[in-house]
Amino acid sequence: MTTETVAVADAAVSAGAVQGAAHAANQKKILNRLRRAQGQLGAVIAAVESGGSCKDVVTQLAAVSSALDKAGFVIVSTAMRDCIDNPDTPNALTVDELEKLFLTLA
């Protein structure tokens, strides 16, 4: 192996590690948002069960909806990045599929 080949291989490994770290960070963001939504949904259920005010229930429900929307957008934006960075992967989505997913959240 030449020094140049080793340097290219090292760069590829480093890029993969950065992408892997970015993927792990995005997964953590998504899970945090989903857990937040889960907690907020628990608050909605508790408010309904205890006869909470309409205002409190709707406020909590709006928070759940917002947290789920944001998690969805992070998932779609991650898929977009993955498709740009690795267009030849077997699970890569087409532009039309990405657009459909994005519009599903709108």
Tokens found for residue 57: 């229930």
User: How far out from the chain centre does Cα 57 lie?
Assistant: 26
CA angle 67, 18, 22 (to 5 degrees): 5
**Tens digits of residue pLDDT in 28-64:** 988 998 999 999 999 999 999 999 999 989 999 999 9
The counts of H helices and E strands in the chain are 3, 0
Separation between Cα atoms, residue 33 and residue 75, nearest integer Å: 11
- CATH for 26-105, among 3.10.105.10, 3.40.50.360, 1.20.58.1000, 3.40.50.970? 1.20.58.1000
pLDDT over threshold 80, residue 96:
yes
pLDDT over threshold 80, residue 11:
no
pLDDT over threshold 80, residue 1:
no
**Single-letter code of the amino acid located at 105:** L
Calculate the average pLDDT of the chain: 78
Element (H, E) at 52: none
Separation between Cα atoms, residue 89 and residue 62, nearest integer Å: 37
pLDDT at 73: 86
